[in-house]
Chains A and B, each alone.
Chain A
Amino acid sequence: MAFQATTSQTVGPFFTIGFDRLNKVNLVAPGISGERVTIVGRVVDGDGKPVPDALLETWQANSHGKYAHPEDQQNKTLEPGFQGFGRIGVDENGGFLFTTVKPGAVPGPKGKMQAPHIAVSVFARGLLLRLVTRVYFPEEPANAADYVLNLVEPARRGSLIARKTAVAGKLEWNVILQGADETVFFDC
């Protein structure tokens, strides 16, 4: 190893001037296959206060379980109109909303498939490093055997699983940065 990775620093409070260009809250173009889901939520801090200066980035496979990336060598359909990347800012109340398709299952450890999930990076003033988490889907039978979910103590797994709402196709998932109900964050 010749070098060490550069030290991370916070995005600070003014990142929107650099990040807005690639904002993407609707990942789905017409003709893309799969079940549409809208995920709504809030980012809150350890005092339960909304975080108005946070940003989420999402990364996921398409509905066939295929990533738009050369290292995904699976023999599955790639859909050119679906990149799988989202960049979602929050409003003054820490609220966010994005629309995507439910990803298909992708390969995981020990030759088993992972339950459908979306990888998420959280950036905000006050975060010296990005926080990495995942969104899983409610009433998904594959969750029970998912390798990564099973790394998490059972009482905290719920923070990674979106909840159904009264509206069909609309799920709720919050990012709680700190405290008793803290979202599970991963060392990635």
Chain B
Amino acid sequence: MSDIVGYRRPAPGTQPKHLHPPYVSSITRAPSKPLVHLPHTLTEVTGPLFGKEAVEAKACDLTRQHSGEPLGERIIVSGQVLDEDARPVSHTLVEVWQANAAGRYLHKVDQHDAPLDPNFTGCGHTVTDEGGRYRFVTIRPGAYPWRNHHNAWRPAHIHFSLFGPAFATRLVTQMYFPGDALIPFDPIFNSTVDEQARHRLISVFDWASTIPDQALGYHFDIILNGREATPMEW
């Protein structure tokens, strides 16, 4: 059996700290003891793979899951899933979920006094193509209040979940929208020290994917951990 080639660890500051007190929920949930460094073994360089069979073709269009059209501003969200060496991550599952245009999630715990939309569930999925590309049609989610602190509002965002090729490449993140005035005040967005890393979570308005008379386009590339150059040395 050949030697294991592990995945790279994040550059310092480019990922959130577990404990970020301005995000109040992290105070009682973040680990208090140092994490144990785990060398990547066969367990970590393998992982669940979801091919086309796990995907419903219509699930990439969140505006066509009901009999009518959802309210709100129709948008296209597309981009590429790459690794840190700019190699496309093809045939990998991308899951998304979001609030509706009024800033309300179709979830029993969401008590925000904004209307639900009978034509919008707010979840979708797709797999990337050979070039690592994905594309969703959806509506722009609304901002919504939360109880983290006085007058707390989350900027508009879409949750993304990706698996990549291995257990070590699992990523859950959030995509934000350019020009959103709430972003600089958001404790979750601000949980990452590195300013450039943080700002890569903001999508870019994109004429190339904008459809005339139909929908504005936003571009959001997602980078998964790259591979080490050489096998692990024990």
Instruction: Tell me if A107 and B42 are in contact (CB < 8 A).
Output: yes
* B29 interface contact, C-beta 8 A: yes
Within the assembled complex, what's the spacing in Å between the Cα atoms of A186 and B38? 6
Residues of A within 8 A of B225 (CB): 5
Asked if B2 lies at the interface with its beta carbon under 8 angstroms from chain A, I say yes
Instruction: Check if B86 sits within 8 Å of A2, measured CB to CB.
Output: yes
Q: Which chain B positions have C-beta within 8 A of A53?
A: 109
| Bound complex: CA A185 to CA B201 (Å) | 26
Contact of A67 with B by CB under 8 A:
yes
A40 within 8 A of B: no
Residues of A contacting B170 with CB < 8 Å? Answer: 57, 121, 130
B123, A17: Cβ atoms closer than 8 Å = yes
Known A9-B16, A9-B172, A130-B172: A59·B159 in contact at CB below 8 Å: no
In the bound complex, CA of A57 to CA of B172 (Å)? 12
How far apart are the CA atoms of A16 and B161 in the complex, in Å?
12
CA distance A45 to B97 in the complex (A): 25
Would B107 and A16 count as touching, CB distance under 8 A? Answer: yes
Whether B138 is near chain A, meaning CB under 8 Å from some CB there, is no
Roughly how many angstroms separate A152 CA and B203 CA in the complex, as a whole number?
40
* Chain B hits for A67, CB < 8 A: 42-43, 46
> Which applies to chain B's interface (DSSP): helix, strand, loop or mixed?
loop
| B92 proximal to A (CB < 8 A) | no
Is B197 an interface residue when CB atoms closer than 8 A count as contact? Answer: yes
| Chain B, residue nearest A110 (CB) | B234
Interface membership of B156, Cβ < 8 A: no
Query: How many Å lie between the Cα of A69 and that of B54 in the bound state?
Result: 16
Shortest C-beta distance, A90 to chain B (Å), equals 13
For A14, A74, A125, the residue with the greatest tally of chain B CB atoms inside 10 Å of its CB is A14
Within 8 A of B (CB), among A138-171: 147-148, 151-152, 156
Min CB distance A20 to B, Å, is 8
> Known contacts A18-B96, A57-B170, A182-B33; is A4 also within 8 Å of B84 by CB?
yes
Give per-residue flags for B191-217: 1 if the beta carbon is below 8 A from chain A beta carbons, else 0: 110000110110000000000000000
Q: Tell me if A117 is interfacial: C-beta within 8 Å of chain B.
A: yes
> How distant is the Cα of A10 from the Cα of B16 in the complex, in angstroms?
10
Contact A178-B32, Cβ < 8 Å, known A6-B201, A53-B109, A119-B43:
yes
Say which size band chain B's interface belongs to.
35 or more
B18 touching A129 by the CB < 8 A rule? yes
Whether B33 pairs with A84 at a CB distance below 8 angstroms is: no
A7's partner among B8, B14, B96, B224 (CB-CB below 8 A) is: B14
A17 B122 Cβ-Cβ under 8 A: yes
Within 8 A of A (CB), among B56-112: 82-86, 95-97, 99, 105-107, 109-110
Q: How far is the CB of B124 from chain A (nearest CB, A)?
A: 8
- Using known A-B contacts A1-B84, A6-B224, A14-B107, determine if residue A128 contacts B167 with beta carbons closer than 8 Å: no
Q: Is the CB of B109 within 8 A of A148?
A: no
A37 to B190, CA, bound (A): 42
Query: 26 A-B contacts, Cβ less than 8 Å apart?
Result: A1-B85, A1-B226, A2-B85, A3-B85, A3-B226, A4-B223, A10-B188, A14-B99, A14-B107, A17-B97, A22-B95, A51-B29, A67-B46, A69-B46, A74-B1, A84-B48, A85-B48, A107-B42, A110-B234, A124-B29, A128-B20, A178-B31, A182-B31, A186-B36, A186-B37, A187-B36
Which residues of chain A have a CB within 8 Å of any CB of chain B? Answer: 1-19, 21-22, 45-47, 49, 51, 53, 57, 59, 61, 67-69, 71-74, 83-85, 106-110, 114, 117, 119, 121, 123-132, 147-148, 151-152, 156, 177-179, 182, 184-188
